[in-house]
Amino acid sequence: MAEILVRLQKLYPDARCSLDYADPLQLLVATILSAQCTDARVNQVTPALFRRYPAARDFAAADPGALEDAIRSTGFYRNKARSLIACCRQLVAHHDGRVPADLDSLVQLPGIGRKTANVVLGNAFGIPGVVVDTHVARLARLLALTVQTDPNKIERDLMEVVPRGEWTQLAHLFIVHGRRVCVARRPRCAECVLNDLCPSSQV
């Protein structure tokens, strides 16, 4: 695991969260919108969205139809609008409109699972968390870091082998590597810096 991290950090020294945000609420909203949608598309939508709804209270009081129209291009916009409104109503009611900086409180918010919570904790608050998205889950299995398919179990397995200080960065590294080299449909094993460490390598 240590060698995997060293090699990927050398290859991707600027790996970071690719969602644009200025505060924890913006990151929370952007992460909800990123489900089944590219980060690039979300980044096209959020500047106007955040101007229209600058605070949790604004999202909480939003007209559902207007919010749906504002986020339509991210897909699944009805479900996402419902989640955003319900989540922000909880933030207003229980957290004075602020995003809490602890996992237990975050996952109690409507529409927020451990993945979204760890994105927010790691990137907005600097609190380490292992984010398990499709890229992280796939690479973790290919590298034999887990045999699990359940994201929560994969998260626990990775927490055992990855130093806590690297938990947040791990996802950034695996995501960029999964997009550029270890592509799901046709992994480019011959170009991969991990091919000698990967049990699944086709080299």
Mean pLDDT within 166-177: 98
Active-site residue flag, 14: no
203 band by pLDDT with thresholds 50, 70 and 90:
confident
Mean pLDDT within 162-171: 98
- Claim: this prediction has a pTM higher than 0.85: yes
How far, in Å, CA of 152 to CA of 132, rounded? 8
Active-site residue flag, 133: yes
pLDDT of residue 60: 98
Mean pLDDT within 130-140: 97
For the stretch 26-43, pLDDT in tens is 999 999 999 999 999 999
Looking at the chain, which residues constitute the CATH 1.10.340.30 domain(s)? Answer: 24-124
Determine which one of 69, 104, 115, 196 is catalytic. Answer: 115
CATH number of 2-15+130-191: 1.10.1670.10
For the stretch 82-134, pLDDT in tens is 999 999 999 999 999 999 999 999 999 999 999 999 999 999 999 999 999 99
pLDDT of residue 178: 97
Domain 24-124 has CATH 3.20.20.120: no
For the stretch 40-67, pLDDT in tens is 999 999 999 999 999 999 999 999 999 9
Mean pLDDT within 61-83: 98
202 band by pLDDT with thresholds 50, 70 and 90:
confident
Determine which one of 20, 39, 58, 133 is catalytic. Answer: 133
